[in-house]
A and B are shown apart, each in its own frame.
Chain A
Amino acid sequence: MLQPAEMAAMEAGDVQMAGRAAGKDRAFQEWFWIAERCVWAVLALFVVAGMAGLTGSGGPFARGIAEAGGARIDYPATARWQTAETLTITLPAAAADAAVTLPASLLETFNVTEISPRPASVTVTEHGERYSFTRAADGGPVTLRFDMIARAPQFPAAPHRIEAGGAAGTVRIAVLP
């Protein structure tokens, strides 16, 4: 650690003092190099988590699958604030009810921007919003896509109970800032 007198001497132009002072803070530098590498390790863990999908936007763990009876719900396990995400629900051919109810908790977290195909009707219920779709005459499996954007961060992941085709499934979605 440089003493005030040493600093003053350096500032006054004492070149020899500057040379002697160059290695005086070696202990601090050694500590700093260790701290630097610790930060690199944290960054590396963060990047590995990103590659694994734990921060959303692609990767093996970015999305989850939930079952609701015979219906399949493909949802973002980790979403990002103000970033578009997709919720895909596949209703089996045998599903008697071509309707999906998104719970109020999910609608408070996400703003639904687009639904494909367009629902025949939307009904507000005590549980949330019920979207009814018209099935084709052949009655095959139906894939419904909800595009949505997270309104606010939410961590840890919150559970949401989605009703699809007459059965219910729970999805857990975290929203990172």
Chain B
Amino acid sequence: METVLRGAAVYAILLVIMRASGRRTIGQATPFDFVLMLIVAETSQQALLGNDFSITNAALLIATLTLLDVGLSYLKRWSPAADRLVDGTPTLLIRDGVIDARALRLSRTGLDDVMAAARKAHGIMDLAEVRHAILEADGGISVIPR
């Protein structure tokens, strides 16, 4: 029982923390973000396993985490509110050429990131050629050119 409860607790804590850390961490990991994820993974391992390094414990943990992930995916399909809470919603950073400075600031996204996405997707070199820029739920930036 303890194994299952540990797995569920750590999964929930990591979900909340990763969600709260913002989409920038997921979609555009910097070296620092990568280091942070490594440390979090290492810290979580001890909390998950405790002093039990048996195969049974590992198998039960993996089964618990897998089922939680599957269950969460079904919950998101069933409940739009849960989907918004867990995955977030896309955010317009630029609308019809007008920059939403507040959205950029609060999502910790810079115009450099928008232009990088514009160059990669459409070969755009000038911000004026960007009609819309959307910060997607997965942390990526979609650019709609004029």
Contacts and interface: CB of A to CB of B under 8 A. Distances in A.
Interface of A: 40, 43-44, 46-47, 50-53, 55-60, 62, 80-84, 176-177
A83 B1 CA distance: 15
A56 to B, nearest CB: 7
Contacts of A57: 1-3, 52, 57
A56 B56 contact: yes
A56 B66 CA distance: 20
B56 A59 contact: no
B137 interface: no
Contacts of B5: 58
A103 B87 CA distance: 57
B47 to A, nearest CB: 15
Contacts of B52: 57, 80, 83
A51 B54 contact: no
Given A83-B51, A83-B52, A84-B51, A47 B1 contact: no
Contact of B67 (A40, A56, A83): A40
Contact of B1 (A53, A81, A176, A177): A53
Interface in B32-81: 51-57, 59-60, 63-64, 66-67, 70
Contact of A46 (B1, B2, B60): B60
A52 B3 CA distance: 11
A52 B63 CA distance: 15
A84 B50 CA distance: 11
A46 B59 contact: yes
B54 A80 contact: yes
Contacts of B60: 46-47, 50, 55
A177 B64 CA distance: 18
Contacts of B3: 50, 55, 57-58
A56 B60 CA distance: 11
B4 interface: yes
A46 B63 CA distance: 7
29 contacts: A40-B67, A43-B67, A46-B60, A47-B67, A50-B1, A50-B4, A50-B63, A51-B4, A52-B1, A53-B1, A55-B3, A57-B2, A57-B3, A57-B52, A58-B2, A58-B3, A59-B1, A80-B52, A80-B54, A81-B54, A81-B55, A81-B56, A82-B53, A83-B52, A83-B53, A176-B56, A177-B54, A177-B55, A177-B56
A57 B4 CA distance: 10
B61 to A, nearest CB: 9
A87 B22 CA distance: 48
